Chains A and B, each alone.
Chain A
Amino acid sequence: MQILLNGEHFTTEASSLDELCEALGFAGAKVATAVNGCFVAATARAKMCLAEADEVEVVAPRQGG
């Protein structure tokens, strides 16, 4: 299915957010996730089913003022 990942079109076969993160190599990484503008806790990623056109954000620590 086609989703928006970090603002870009992305094709994935992952059915859950957790699967998507694994496929991207983010398992165990220092990241946080949101789907369609809402925070999804790490513990909730396995139950978070992805749907066509979902907007997924995967963020990590960065410099900031």
Chain B
Amino acid sequence: MLKLYGTEISSRMLLGTAGYASPDILRQAVEASGAEIVTVSLRRESARAKTGQGFWALIEELGRRVLPNTAGCRTAKEAIATAQMAREVFGTNWIKLEVIANDDTLQPEVFGLVEAAATLSADGFDVLPYTTEDLSVAERLVGAGCEVLMPWGSPIGSARGLANKSGLQTLRAYFPDTPLIVDAGLGAPSHAAEAMEMGYDAVLLNTAIAKADDPVKMAKGFARAIEAGRLAYEAGIIEPRDMASPSTPVAGTPFFKIDTAS
């Protein structure tokens, strides 16, 4: 059972709520995914349109645990203020902490990330930091109070899967007891299965489902892949070998003669 900050979570898929063709597709995709946690954001509210009020009603209807993000924040200061606003609006201490360095790569700005993580942890937040596979950054984040790490697979929305498997493996080895969630860059369910087979505790995705031709079907696909990967990890995957090793017993092979001329 997945446990994040002391809370048992029934699904190893965390699902983003952005980019769906309609609220109805979003609802159906969340349902099909089985995700218990959905991510949300805060955005400027227009006095005229008041769009956020309608979205809040949808969120309540979904009935899932909400994980607000600090998407778009460029500095620790912005992320801290956004997290504090999110805590008040969404009524949760949980925060997916993002501090972004660059518009093209959307990579974590790791210095601001660690700074914000420390301030927010001290202020009672349960921080889930979106980070890279950099081990030293991970160590700083844990030192700053993070009890969960969320390293990227590849750039947000890029659908490239796990770009640095060995980096992710290193994190898994160094933090055997810390929940690790691959967050960002997944495209196909096989990417999610791969992360789970490596022993990652969960995956977080959005674009791969929201922008699929059939998001609801894709949500089902990912759910099964995540379950498959987890079962495989728990079952003990056989090691790769250089040479073949027959599966059918050799003894009793018909027509077999011992070769005397060797």
Contacts and interface: CB of A to CB of B under 8 A. Distances in A.
Interface of A: 6-7, 24-26, 29-34, 37-39, 41-42, 57-65
Interface stretch (B4-12, B48-56, B218-226, B239-247): B48-56
Contact of A62 (B41, B81, B157, B205): B41
A65 B156 contact: yes
B45 A63 contact: no
Given A30-B53, A38-B81, A64-B69, 16 more contacts: A25-B50, A29-B50, A31-B45, A32-B42, A32-B86, A37-B77, A42-B88, A57-B85, A58-B44, A60-B52, A60-B53, A60-B55, A62-B52, A63-B16, A64-B41, A65-B18
B156 A60 contact: no
B89 interface: yes
B78 A65 contact: no
Given A7-B44, A37-B77, A63 B88 contact: no
A64 B207 contact: no
A29 B44 CA distance: 13
B118 interface: no
B39 interface: yes
Contacts of A58: 44-45
Nearest to B72: A64
Nearest to A60: B52
Interface size class of B (residues with CB under 8 A): 35 or more
Contacts of B40: 61-64
Contact of B59 (A6, A37, A61): A61
A29 to B, nearest CB: 6
- Which 9 A-B residue pairs are closest in the complex by CB-CB distance? A60-B52, A64-B41, A65-B16, A65-B206, A32-B85, A39-B84, A60-B45, A63-B18, A62-B43
A56 to B, nearest CB: 10
Contact of B42 (A29, A42, A62): A62
Nearest to B205: A65
B42 A37 contact: no
Nearest to A43: B88
Interface string B37-81: 001111111110011110110010000000011010000011011
Contacts of A62: 40-43, 51-52, 55
Nearest to B207: A65
Contacts of B69: 64-65
Nearest to A41: B88
Given A62-B42, A65-B16, A65-B206, A30 B81 contact: no
Given A59-B42, A63-B41, A64-B71, A26 B85 contact: no
B85 to A, nearest CB: 3
B140 to A, nearest CB: 24
Contacts of B207: 65
B44 A65 contact: no
